[in-house]
A and B are shown apart, each in its own frame.
Chain A
Amino acid sequence: MRQWTWGILMLALGVPVTAAWAVKKDEKLYVKARNTRVLKSAAPTADVVAVLQPGQQVTWKGADPKNAQWHQVTEPGGKPGYVFQTNLSTKPPDMELVAKDGKTRTIDPAAFVSSGAAVKALSPGAEKYGNAKGGGYSNAVSQIKTLEALAKRVTPVEIDAHVKQAGLFPVVAPNTKLGAQAKKVSK
């Protein structure tokens, strides 16, 4: 029963769970993380061929025989390269488009991310609600606003530096620059 529940969840998340759903060569896969890098070779320090955004698709060619955590793909522009395993998904991510009518729209993922159309911070109604309640609630409004400003300063640059220092997987890249990568982490 529990395995059945996982299976449904994993499929919903785009993680293949059995051989029947296993990814096949030339299948289209979605990129799931912000600033996903397509690299020239199967190494985290290799030159950057392209930088993709959540929802963009690549064509899967297979896992690298020497390091199965890197997967050979063709990016949307047709250039070949390598993407880290956990950047790829069989399902598209939610893009949280702010649409007044609440309807889903087909959008260009890269344009969406750069447009800043994602969800904004503390809603005006919530702020009004908290301030109207007064006391500790007004203080909480002010603290949440401070916290949101602090969170916003934690960009992919800071995340990338931390990931390198902690030895974690290179999933969220610091920027959208192409070509050779900076040699040292500035932290």
Chain B
Amino acid sequence: MRSRMGLLVAAGLGLTSCAQLTQGLKKANLGDDVNRVVVASEKVQSCDKLKVEPAIQEEYALGSALAIHWAQQSGGLMLSGAAEEKLNTYVNTVGRNLAMQSPRPELAWTFGVLKDTERFNALSAPAGYVFVTRRLLQGVDNEAQLAGVLAHEIAHVVLKHALHQYVSVKVSTCKGAAVTGAVVSTVASKVVGASRLDGRLDLDADTELMGKMVEGTVDAFGKGNRKDEELAADALAVELLLSAGYDPGEYSLLLGKTTGGGGLWANHPSKEDRQEQIADLLKARQKETDPLARVDVASLQRPALPAAFAVVGPVKKSTGVAKDAK
């Protein structure tokens, strides 16, 4: 009985892209087992309504909670004393200049330095939170390199890569509840409920729901971005650097300091692919005949790091793995 039921569920899920067939089975009324499968299939189809762009409040709630999560996971932020605050002010000056030229200039962009001295890393969260580790800053040679890292993370926020993973968490939570045939938690119940409305969740109103969605999204982060998303973030980063007047070649040099992939980051493109794309994009813009797209490479800058940067400690030769997570 169980195996027959499983077969029917599987058959029903196979129909999820075929609403008409589900409707046909429903009309045919072929018995309890088939009817249960039809109901499950309808619920799974309804879950696709969650594949909508989250409202800005939803993005802002998720992004803030993820920012808290990243800060906690990295041992906190470098905010002790005037020197560390000055460093954060500098990083915000560089970052906000780039962000105000991005396609999302009106987000409340916030840039911060994480205490982490082990991982050569940069992270971002929806709604405009961007973080770099102290270890990464120790490997940066000039402002153009820092700008490159910040621009790449800004690009992930602009292109909503983390939000897409969040949406997939919503959909899988909903489908899980549909397949088991029972709503096993209040969280699943709310997600299923949203699939019957506009697909959006009010995370601010429910701490449990917020927690589950944040944890689900963090788990999804573990798989890293897709290769095409990383390359798209690099391409937009180059545009932001050119817009502000930085030499994207410096960002490419910083990428060159990174090592390998593998593990959680197996999906990342190789640094050679990323560097090649940056070089190709820059060449294309130099040759551009359109006056709005043409780039004068001679006018691009590689500003020196300010005195405020000294607080990150001695610049060591990079041996870490430079990565980003969203």
Q: Give the interface of A toward B (CB within 8 A).
A: 2-3, 5-6, 9-10, 13-19, 21-23, 29, 32-34, 54, 60, 62-63, 68-69, 71, 85-86, 88, 90-91, 93-100, 102, 112-113, 118-130, 132-133, 136-137, 139-141, 143-144, 146-148, 150-154, 156, 158-159, 162-163, 166-169, 171-172
Contacts and interface: CB of A to CB of B under 8 A. Distances in A.
Interface in B170-214: 198, 200, 203-207, 210-211, 214
A130 to B, nearest CB: 4
Interface in B198-247: 198, 200, 203-207, 210-211, 214, 228, 231-232, 235-236, 239, 242-246
B56 A102 contact: yes
Contacts of A156: 100
A21 to B, nearest CB: 8
Contact of B239 (A15, A123, A150): A15
Contacts of B61: 123, 125-126
A148 B204 contact: no
Interface of B: 55-57, 60-61, 64-65, 67-69, 71-72, 76-77, 79, 85, 88-89, 92-94, 96-97, 100-112, 127-129, 143, 198, 200, 203-207, 210-211, 214, 228, 231-232, 235-236, 239, 242-246, 277, 280-281, 284, 288-294, 296, 299, 301, 303
Contact of A33 (B72, B100, B296): B100
Contact of A13 (B108, B205, B239): B239
Contact of A5 (B97, B228, B294): B228
Given A140-B72, A159-B100, A71 B67 contact: no
B76 A136 contact: yes
A119 B101 contact: no
Given A126-B65, A171-B244, A2 B56 contact: no
A147 B110 contact: yes
A86 to B, nearest CB: 4
A63 B214 CA distance: 48
Given A34-B105, A118-B106, A143 B244 contact: no
A171 B101 contact: yes
B128 A119 contact: yes
A17 B246 CA distance: 20
Given A93-B103, A97-B56, A124-B204, A139 B76 contact: yes
A33 B294 contact: no
B64 A168 contact: no
Contacts of B108: 118-121, 148, 151-152
